[in-house]
Amino acid sequence: MIVGISGDKVASQAKFRDKLALPFPLLADTEHKAGQAFGVWRQKSFMGKKFMGIERSTFIIGKDGNIARIFRNVSVNGHADQVWEALREL
């Protein structure tokens, strides 16, 4: 199962999902509880300014319910192939 989680509001998530015709649910973590639990709600910096934000990451959860693989600071290009390869290795 694939699930996307973002700090965006539900309406923004729905618009994004519909625009890209994503076949999986997107969850709104507006209070950043999931982000904090997974350690991806972090201090970031851009142009000398520091702020809190989501570190784009992918987690593969094994059949046993434990985290089997983590990809941090994900770049969109080529990432799907990385995930498929990791899934094949499990």
Structure tokens at 64: 């046993």
Q: Domain of residue 8: give its range.
A: 4-89
Rounded to 5 degrees, what are φ and ψ at 3? -135, 135
Question: Domain with 27 in it: what CATH number?
Answer: 3.40.30.10
pLDDT in 10s for each residue of the chain, 90 residues:
789 999 999 999 999 999 999 999 999 999 999 999 999 999 999 999 999 999 999 999 998 999 999 999 999 899 999 999 999 998
Structure tokens at 72: 């941090």
- What is the total count of domains within the chain? 1
Q: Residue holding tokens 């990432």?
A: 79
The model's pTM is 0.82
Residue 19, CA atoms < 13 Å, CB-side half-sphere: 7
The CA distance from 29 to 85, in Å, is 28
The β-bridge partners of 53 are 42
